[in-house]
Amino acid sequence: MGALGDISMFCGRYDRELDEKGRVSLPGPFRDAMLAHKFDRVYVANSKIESERFLEVYPPDEWQRLVTIIKQKSTFDVNLQLFQVFFIGGTHEVQFDRQGRILIPSKLREFAGLGHEVAFSGMPDYFQLWDRRALDRTIKFAEDRVGDRSFRNSLGL
């Protein structure tokens, strides 16, 4: 469950620009929610849907919850080892600056193919950072699938 209990901390899409140093301003509602919980940093991780690469951005409490779950798993599981190499090994802890920006490390920018135009997308307990064109393609792909009643039924919605 998210830091706000039953209420989603993050929702919506926000288009932003990545500056020449790799910094991006957090959307106001995301930044406000983080600051309300006295969070001054996030954890930025590699992620992928189908062939589209993007970044997942976790507040400290959600990151700790995820790490706790992973630590309870068998370290001998090859799939878990692969996941940890990709996900945990690729994650960076990033502090906010005074302007509410985060610096996306170059390796993560390269992985996600982030150009100048980026977009934040809210999830229930974390948010995502995408290259804007990649998110547009993924939304179109999702739109085609979500419109199919059997798809929604498979989710129990």
Average pLDDT over residues 1-30: 82
Grade residue 138 by pLDDT with cuts at 50, 70 and 90. very high
Q: Quick check: is 96 in a domain?
A: yes
Q: How many domains does the chain have?
A: 1
The span from the CA of 29 to the CA of 11, in Å, is: 9
* Cβ neighbours of 99 (radius 10 Å): 9
Say whether pLDDT at 64 is over 90: yes
Average pLDDT over residues 93-117: 96
pLDDT, the chain, mean: 91
Q: Is the pTM of this model over 0.85?
A: yes
Q: Quick check: is 2 in a domain?
A: no
Q: Quick check: is 3 in a domain?
A: no
Residue 63 and residue 57 in contact, taking contact as beta carbons nearer than 8 Å:
no
Query: Nearest Cα to 93, choosing from 101, 84, 103?
Result: 103
Q: Quick check: is 8 in a domain?
A: no
Say whether pLDDT at 8 is over 90: no
